[in-house]
Amino acid sequence: MTKDETIEINLKFFKKYLLKNSYVFGFSIAALIIFLSYLIVSLNISIGNLTSSYYFIFFRIFPSWFFIFLTVMFVFSAVLAYHEKHFLMFLPILFWLLISSAYIRTQNIPQLKDITTNDWTLGPDLDPFLYLRIAQDINNGNYQKIDYMRRAPLGVDNYANTNLMPWAIVSVFKISKIFGNDSLTFAAIIAPVIFSILASIFFFLFVYALFSFKFSKKESALGATIATAFYVFSVQMLHRTTAGIPEIESLGMVWFWLAFLFFVMAWKQNFDDKKQRKKIIVYSFLSALFTGLMIWTWGGYRYIYMVVALSSLIAFLFKIEHRKNFLIFSLFVLFSLFIYFLRLKSILPILMGFSDTGFAFLVFLIMLTDKFYLTLN
């Protein structure tokens, strides 16, 4: 075989596999760059001033498996892109994002050992100790509706009466016992990391569903992957979802993105199709349900009402799919506010939430009045 024939065969291989589509080429180049950068750093190869750049400093911060794993994931993505699996080709990258974010969030676990007792302890945040204490009472069968450890000797209503976080910690503990964990405190330590992984998955699906209104599957998956990369490494999220800090935001974000995901899924259905109309009802109820769970977890539920109410009001004013908008929003408002009522046992605070629940209820009344007016005329 001559030299020219060898070059021609190599070019055919390059065109057939690496240039089949832009995604195969992009994933392949990304895998090559990551792997070469890893080799340069691990072998201490000097390439002038670039060696001390922030790019290569980033490679020195994390262990070698971190980038080998990323290289392998890019290769898997390239293979899936070659077979034109437009949605699946981004899942290896998403998997790496979840594993790497969990790795970053758990680096402090070895320091969460109390040297006086040689037992696990939480990080330096006050509220999680309250959640853990109540979770211990629940797990030990000592749960009482009145918490006499607060405002003693009279006590106050137990925090677990109106919040799901202590119950979530107990649930994580019971599941972790399957894997050999016998410490409720350790379950509380890893709970925010688990919740952040779930929230990241639901965020990815939400962005994918949102982008799919205007873009193709592969473009939607690309946008969702990029958005998730920013989300999982967001500094604002990291400090509230780090191991040892089981704050209510970590659990709340799980419900937050699920509520938006099913709201978007409801809007994706065709109102004129009877089967899809049933899906609209189911998705609207699910969106309301997860909003209700958010209400029972974290005060950030207000943002859900702000976004959903405002977007529904805009759709109403511009007459965008009028019947579908009314069905989705009315089911969402009525069911979620009913769940809110079960928590507060009062309707007045709900109606007085001028920027959130009250605003949503006002928008519902406007849409309901318009519905009656159209029916009568």
- Report pLDDT digits (tens) over 48-81: 777 677 777 778 888 888 999 999 999 999 999 9
Q: Which two tokens stand for residue 130?
A: 């309250």
Mean pLDDT score across all residues of the chain: 92
Residue 13 has pLDDT above 80, yes or no: no
Q: At CA 208, angle to CA 205 and CA 209, rounded to 5? A: 85
| Short-list 205, 206, 174, CA closest to 191 | 174
Sign (positive/negative) of CA torsion 178, 183, 188, 192? negative
Report the SS3 class of residue 113. Answer: strand
Least confident of 206-210, 239-243, 276-280: 239-243
Q: How far apart are CA 135 and CA 173, in angstroms?
A: 10
- Report pLDDT digits (tens) over 283-308: 999 999 999 999 999 999 999 999 99
Query: Does residue 63 have a cis peptide bond before it, meaning omega lies within 30 degrees of 0?
Result: no
Beta-carbon neighbour count of residue 168 at 10 Å? 23
Beta carbons of 86 and 216 less than 8 angstroms apart: yes
Q: Which two tokens stand for residue 278?
A: 């049933």
Q: What is the DSSP letter of 152?
A: T
Q: State the pairing for strand pair 156-157/146-147.
A: antiparallel
The pLDDT, as a whole number, for residue 230 is 95
Least confident of 4-8, 231-235, 251-255, 360-364: 4-8
Beta carbons of 285 and 336 less than 8 angstroms apart: no
Q: How many CA atoms lie within 13 A of 326 on its CB side?
A: 13
Q: How far apart are CA 202 and CA 196, in angstroms?
A: 10
Q: 118 exposed, middle or buried (CB, 10 Å; 0-12, 13-18, 19+)?
A: exposed
Confidence bin at 16 (pLDDT 50/70/90): low
Q: How far apart are CA 104 and CA 149, in angstroms?
A: 35
In the chain, the largest separation of any two C-alpha atoms, in whole Å, equals 94
This prediction has a pTM of 0.93
Q: 192 exposed, middle or buried (CB, 10 Å; 0-12, 13-18, 19+)?
A: buried
Q: Give the DSSP per-residue string, 191-234.
A: HHHHHHHHHHHHHHHHHHHHHTTTS-HHHHHHHHHHHHHHHHT-
Write down the residue that tokens 């925090």 correspond to: 159
Q: How many CA atoms lie within 13 A of 323 on its CB side?
A: 8
The pLDDT, as a whole number, for residue 6 is 53
Report the pLDDT averaged over residues 74-92.
Answer: 93
319: left (phi > 0), else alpha (psi -120 to 50), else beta? left
**SS3 readout for 311-367:** HHHHHHHCCCCHHHHHHHHHHHHHHHHHHHHHHHCCCHHHHCCCCCHHHHHHHHHHH
Q: How far apart are CA 207 and CA 261, in angstroms?
A: 8
Report the pLDDT averaged over residues 162-191.
Answer: 96
Q: How far apart are CA 211 and CA 227, in angstroms?
A: 11
- Report pLDDT digits (tens) over 295-347: 999 999 999 999 999 999 999 999 999 999 999 999 999 999 999 999 999 99
Q: Could you state, in order of their start, the residue ranges of all structural domains in the chain?
A: 3-85, 269-377
